[in-house]
Structure 1
Amino acid sequence: MDARRWTAGLLAAVTATVALTACSSDGEAGCASEAGMVQCAPDERGDAPTIAGELLTGGRYDVAAQRGQVVVVNFWGSWCAPCRAEADDLEATYQATRGSGVTFLGINVQDSRDKAIAFEEGRVTYPSIFDPASRLALALDIPPNSIPATVVLDRDGRIATVIRAAVTRDDLQPIVERVAAESAPPTGER
């Protein structure tokens, strides 16, 4: 078996287990999986792995510093047509929810830095980590064939929702608002 077929098989297996890893080890009792999306009840959520790295524009970013905020993490590439289509919806959702203790983070995968920076210019105002090897995506069980993908982390850094498809504002904003409403941000964070 050549390396490409082995990798494709591995990625298919990883995709099949995303729902299980997004929720606690007790299984999917508190999780609902439908049409490329897994949503978990607060008591069924698992912790996200470390999400940190170098920003496209320089400097470092660590999601752990955002505890107390809902963090929407979007995996994208400049080469990805659905990523281009969802960029305006992501930015609109970010602008509509950031006053509620919500922040957004992009993670650019399988790309060159120049193309990624050019893609973001004039499209989004939130930061993006540069991860050309897709290490962060794979740590969250987001295989390369699932880009774009969006992960919503609750205020405790746990995985509330995984969406393995392009998003629209009409679909994403209610999810983000629901997770944000689960608990108010700490005083002074609004």
Structure 2
Amino acid sequence: MNARRWTAGLLATVAAVALVGCTSSKGQEKTCTTTTDGIFECAPDQRSAPPKLAGELLLGGTYDVTQARGQVVVVNFWGSWCAPCRAEADDLEAVYQATKGSGVSFLGINVQDSRDKAKAFEQGRVTYPSLFDPASRLALDLDIPPNTVPATVVLDREGRIASVIRAAVKQEGLQPIVERIAAEKPASN
């Protein structure tokens, strides 16, 4: 019974934190939804400004998500120590392979890890790049508490947060979300 209360409390907290991302710069509330399975989504006209995601890549070099404007970007927060992260890695790679031809890119963000453990985890599992963020600063900047890893954020072609999934993903659940966001018409300027 205590585990149920704790889980219900955690889900309520996650939903409340997710709604924080749906406030415009003028403080007006945005209309977003959270499904029964915990997937948070905002309609295109309700999305907030693009988040800043930049840093050092796990395998060297740097990356800034603004380089990917015009593409849908699937951002996955993970750690080598995280069992659900290990479980979802094949599904993430499968969605990446299935959607990359339609203007979709993937970016991992490794949190709370050593570089060696993160590299060993990623080798042979995924072919897309990962940022190395051992202090979890990027997760915190996106209102994703580091203790909710794995988490997957889908950015639309304008770089705005379209969807947040705070649980391990499966291909059959993630791929339709990514394909739907990739099929959205760009906003007129």
TM over 0.5: yes
Quote the residue 1:178 is aligned against.
180
Quote the residue 2:34 is aligned against.
33
1:102-181 matches, within 5 Å, as: 102-181=104-183
Task: State the shift of 1:13 in Å.
Answer: 9.7
SS in 1 for 2:110: strand
Quote the residue 1:98 is aligned against.
100
Matched, 1:20 2:19: yes
Aligned partner letter, 1:33: T
Task: State the shift of 1:20 in Å.
Answer: 2.0
Task: State the shift of 1:94 in Å.
Answer: 0.2
Aligned partner letter, 1:50: K
Report the Cα distance in structure 2 between the residues aligned to 1:12 and 1:49, rounded to whole angstroms. 23
TM-score (norm 1): 0.86
TM-score (norm 2): 0.86
Contact conserved, 1:15 with 1:141, CA < 8 A, in 2?
no
**Which of these residues, 67, 70, 77, is aligned with residue 68 of structure 1?**
70
Aligned partner letter, 1:174: P
CA-based RMSD of the aligned residues comes to: 1.8
**Which of these residues, 41, 44, 54, is aligned with residue 42 of structure 1?**
44
Report the Cα distance in structure 2 between the residues aligned to 1:58 and 1:183, rounded to whole angstroms. 35
Task: State the shift of 1:149 in Å.
Answer: 0.0
Task: State the shift of 1:27 in Å.
Answer: 2.4
Contact conserved, 2:18 with 2:143, CA < 8 A, in 1?
no
Aligned partner letter, 2:18: A
Cα distance per residue 1:149-185 (max 9 Å; x no partner): 000000001000010000000000000000000037x
Report the Cα distance in structure 1 between the residues aligned to 2:17 and 2:70, rounded to whole angstroms. 25
SS in 2 for 1:61: strand
